[in-house]
Amino acid sequence: MKTGAEGVAGLCVWHITPTGPALIPPTSHGEFFTNDCYVILNATSHHREVFFWLGSSSAVDDHGAAQLSAFELDECLGGGTILRREVQAHETPNFCAAFGGRLTYLLGGLRDGAQHSPVDCSQPVLRLLRVKGQRRCRVVEVAAEASSLSAGDVYILDTGRALFQWSGAGASKKERTRALELCSRLREERAAFPQSMPVEHILLAQDGPHSPNIARFWRALGCDAPQAIKPATADDDEATIAALSDEP
């Protein structure tokens, strides 16, 4: 594994691809496609850690490639590196700390044509991001439909030109704050595109149930306002990735 990371302090992330590990830009650090696997180097002046991360829907062959790449990276760095295996939604505290606790899980992966690059607003976009968690607040892409909404969480509906922030009645201050931070970062990234237009950030909780903006939100989801929203659920989804967690 040729990394160019020798002697480098800081964070490096590689996306496992059919042709080998591909370094991703710092703007995508903390974002992981659930169908894929990654290798991460966190290096300081005192120690080095190498993680290999397995997405919830990733293939067994990719697990092996990620593990092999992690061992090769350790060899490139002269050995003695702490190696850690990470499973989506069950990450270790050290892994979370490397990304400042800000993890985002995106649907799909390389086989679906997914790439680690800012959203191009000139192309059609529709995705729904759920912000959830008290102890570890994570962002997870879910199906862009009203049935995905829960009263206990915050959601960002991303249409490219607009970011609708919808907060359930039971959403916490931490979740709302994390959603605000994410919307701010997305707007900054898109402002860097040539001839880009301003991206709206719309706080629906402040608009009232009959405002034009909430009507736009439901239209974007392809439905009318539902009669009821699912009740809040526990922060930790224990159903996620049980099979991966049982691997040796």
- Does position 152 have pLDDT exceeding 90, yes or no? yes
Give per-residue pLDDT as tens, 3-40. 555 556 789 999 999 999 999 999 999 999 999 999 99
Q: Say what the pLDDT of residue 241 is.
A: 37
Give per-residue pLDDT as tens, 79-134. 889 999 999 999 999 999 999 999 999 999 999 888 898 777 667 789 999 999 98
Q: Any long-range contacts for 198-203 (C-beta under 8 Å, 24+ apart)? A: 199/121, 199/160, 199/161, 199/162, 199/163, 200/161, 200/162, 200/163, 201/162, 201/163, 201/165, 202/162, 202/163, 202/164, 202/165, 203/165
Q: Measured in whole angstroms, how far is the alpha carbon of residue 82 from the centre of its chain?
A: 24
Q: How far apart are CA 46 and CA 146, in angstroms?
A: 48
Two tokens at 163?
């970011």
Of 47, 44, 46, 40, whose CA–CA distance to 82 is shortest? 47
Helices and strands (H and E) in the chain: how many: 5, 12
pTM: 0.86
Q: Which of 120-129, 192-201, 218-227 has the lowest mean pLDDT?
A: 192-201
* Identity of residue 171: A
